[in-house]
Amino acid sequence: MKEYQVKGLTCANCARALEEQIQSLPYGEGATLSYNSGKLRVHERIDLEKVRAILATDGAYIADDEQAPKKRNLLLYFVGASIFLFLTALVLERLDIDGASVVIYMAAIALSGYKTFVKGLNNIIRFRFNMDTLMTIALIGAFGIGEWKEAAVVAILFGVNEYLEGLGMERARRSLDMLLKQAPKEALLISNGQTHVVPIESLQVGDVVLVRPGEKIPSDGVVIEGKSSVNEAAITGEAMPIEKEKGMSVYGGSVNNEGMLHVQITKQYKDSSLSKILHLVQEAQETKTPLELFIHRFAKYYTPFIMIVSLFVMLVPPLWFEASWHDALYQGLAVLIVGCPCALILSSPIALLAGMTRNARKGVLVKGGVHLETLGRVRTIAFDKTGTITKGKPHVTDVIAYIDENKLLYTAASLESVSSHPLAQAIVQKAKQHHIAYKQPEQMATRTGSGMEGKVDGKWYCIGNERMFDHQLFTEQIQKDAEKLKCEGRTIVFVADEQRILGLFGIADEIREESKKVIQQLHRMGIRRTVMLTGDHEKTAEQVAKQVGVTHTFAQLLPEQKVEKIKELMKNDTVAMVGDGMNDAPALAHAHLGIAMGKGTDSAIETADIVLMQDHLGKLPEAIVVARRVNRTIRLNIAIALSLKATALLFTIPGWLTLWLAILSDMGATIFVSILSLFILWEKRTI
């Protein structure tokens, strides 16, 4: 099977119809076309020219084809030209130059709606009813009554909406490509005492690789030589580096901070933790179909119903009740005008566009109207901990000094000033906050995996974890203080001279200032459950959950386990997942809605449906309020449009329905839903 990237797909139903046509070709069995990822997979012996011809019927094309359109934003240019022509026609109409204005209106309609019009006609021939069919019937109805201005407005607004929806989907389709860039490509294989650069795909179980400082571990394995701290945030979401030594397991994709590691491979790359993350994201993108707006589903029944009613009004009275053919045709034409779905077509796009614009003003990027609609239905929100609820950065929370505290900070910061280790930098930052003027040590030596020692002002000091020190130095009070910090989920760094422990630091991931307030707001808004999913230790997770107020916590989760939790939550509610790291990407993709932090990894941002551009949670509650308002407005728009049309149709029973009444019904509904939708842009207190 060969794979191609397809662009220009307009809807999930259209993609399925194209897939069925491709499958009917010789060697087409098994061909797949995914709307979510834009990927086409076909047999290598299939006639590609026929495939291109089928795609072209829907305005789609293979991205790398030489025949593909040169200008990516062609639709945007056409819509811009249409708006200019529409304004010109309005001016000419004011000057009573009606003939010229009609021609210009027609040109504006052709630029914005010609593709949709052609597809709609094809759909009518095939008895396939979707948004394009509705759009085409709306235009035909407007042409029939000479409402060129209305037809132009509908065509332009539909063109704007189509461009914005396509732009959001195109960004989402790039997520997998961005994620793949995170994977290591090569490894240093140790063979016969020599190192050789090899592709990671060639590594076999039992191979030994050398991982230098700053390099990614190529695949899951076990340390057989060396000590170092390893950053596993890409896999587990754990912000704090994990100390690794002989006999300890490591994940592929994690980063070696310092020290040389010899790692024996225990899994081929295709079975590694990193590979599983990539596979989970790809699987979710291929199988998760976007929620369709109500109007698309309703159109399947609404349009044929109106056409049948119109034929009934035209034929039954003359044939069965000897009514006038002229009057019957007149009434039937009025029914068609009432049935023109202009108001229905505009009931959702304007509201969605207004909602996305309103959120964009607040720094919340929504990648398409369907995601905004889903946001309004969310009742459970799952949060990653590291980098989402917390800042993802080690922070000194406790300083316990057995000597003068400033002296302790001075000594510790001086020792750590030459280290790039995240814990060292946290201690240095703490000294800076207290305006301590530290200096570099006169001599130093690193004890990989434990800490370091150095000479400050002519005296030797040690700083590091518990393993670095003789246990005889730990008095009953020191043990009690250390145990208290451990129970609170802190990482502990000890400082000592040659005779005794001078003090200790409790270090943890710093909670974002807004996290607690946001969780409280979400609960007041009716969010049933707030859930924290983390790869961190249970005690640390419990402490964070207690401080911010989430209702449920699940700790020590790998990416695939986060996905399983999301699937469990999705059985009862519409679920949103908020995260920032590569390890969150599978959960973001599987949830009904993925929300990424603005300064998170590229894979998380590209996989997500919504991005919080300020890189904090502060605007999330307001974004949900706007989304709920959009959903209410769309439902109200549809109800009003159908009610006005139903009332007008009832006028056919006594024969009171006239063309003017039909036009008033259709135009009144269109204007009303447009104004109601634009009210969403108005600023008001939302929480």
* Within-domain flag for 314: yes
Give me the mean pLDDT over the 50-64 stretch: 79
What mean pLDDT comes out for the span 405-418? Answer: 93
284-331 pLDDT, tens digit each: 444 333 334 455 566 557 667 777 887 887 788 888 887 777 777 767
Contacts of 281 (CB under 8 A, 6+ apart): 175, 176, 179, 585, 586, 589, 603, 607
My answer on whether 385 and 517 are in the same domain is yes
For the four alpha carbons of 83, 88, 93 and 99, in that order, the dihedral sign comes to negative
Average pLDDT along the chain:
79
Residue 67 lies in a domain: no
Residue 538: other Cβ atoms inside 10 A: 13
Element (H, E) at 479: helix 476-487
pLDDT at 179: 46
Rounded to an integer, what distance in angstroms lies between the CA atom of residue 203 and that of residue 464? 35
Active site residue 384: yes
d(CA 459, CA 447): 18
Highest-scoring range by mean pLDDT, 35-39, 63-67, 485-489 = 485-489
Residue 177: per-residue pLDDT: 52
Q: Are residues 491 and 353 in the same domain?
A: no
160 occurs within a structural domain = no
Does residue 226 form part of some domain? yes
Q: What is the pLDDT of residue 290?
A: 39
Q: What is the CATH number of the domain that holds 206?
A: 2.70.150.10
Same domain as 534, residue 385: yes
Number of domains the chain contains: 5
Work out the pLDDT band at 12, boundaries 50, 70, 90: low
Give the tens place of pLDDT for each residue, 236-248: 555 678 889 899 9
What would the mean pLDDT of 483-497 be, rounded to a whole number?
88
The pairing of strands 610-612 and 593-597 is parallel
DSSP helix/strand/coil, 668: helix
Q: Which residues span the domain enclosing 262?
A: 186-271
Q: 326 in a domain, yes or no?
A: yes
Indicate if 331 and 397 belong to the same structural domain. no
Residues 238 and 322 in one domain: no
Query: Dihedral sign, CA of 563, 565, 569, 574?
Result: negative
Residues 576, 377: Cα–Cα separation, whole Å: 10
Mean pLDDT of 78-107: 81
* DSSP string for 145-185: TT-HHHHHHHHHHHHHHHHHHHHHHHHHHTHHHHHHTTS--
| pLDDT: which is higher, 360 or 602 | 360
The answer to whether position 338 is within a domain reads: yes
Which residue in the list 132, 207, 220, 384 is annotated as catalytic?
384
DSSP labels, 535-604: SS-HHHHHHHHHHHT-SEEE-S--HHHHHHHHHHHHTTS-EEEEE-SGGGHHHHHHSSEEEEETTS-HHH
pLDDT of residue 549: 92
Q: How confident is the model at residue 600 (pLDDT cuts 50, 70, 90)?
A: low
CATH classification of the domain holding 540? 3.40.50.1000
Tokens of 515: 């996290």
Question: What is the average pLDDT across 533-554?
Answer: 87
Whether 235 shows a pLDDT value over 90: the answer reads no
Q: Is residue 152 part of a domain?
A: no
Cα distances (Å, whole numbers) of residue 224 to 189, 259, 272, 274: 14, 13, 18, 21
Report how far Cα 681 is from the mean position of its chain's Cα atoms: 23
Residues 605 and 625 in one domain: no
Backbone dihedral angles phi then psi of residue 494, each to the nearest 5 degrees: -100, 150
> Are both 202 and 249 inside the same structural domain?
yes
Residues 529 and 606 occupy one common structural domain: yes
- Please state, for a pLDDT cut of 90, what percent of the chain lies above it: 23
Tell me if 368 sits within 8 A of 165, measured CB to CB: yes
Q: Domain check: are 439 and 484 in the same one?
A: yes
CATH number of the domain enclosing 408: 3.40.1110.10
What's residue 434's pLDDT? 93
12 touches 293 (CB < 8 A):
no
Residues 596, 625, single domain; the answer is: no
Does one domain contain both 358 and 381? Answer: no
Question: Could you tell me the pLDDT band of residue 98, with boundaries at 50, 70 and 90?
Answer: low
Mean pLDDT computed over 218-224: 92
Side-chain half-sphere exposure of 170, counting CA atoms within 13 A: 15
Final residue in a domain of this structure, among 62, 78, 113: 62
Let me know whether 214 and 314 are in one domain: no
CATH number of the domain that residue 9 is part of = 3.30.70.100
Instruction: Please say which residue of 62, 89, 106 terminates a domain.
Output: 62
- Domain final residue pick, 489, 510, 531: 510
Does 174 fall in a domain?
A: no
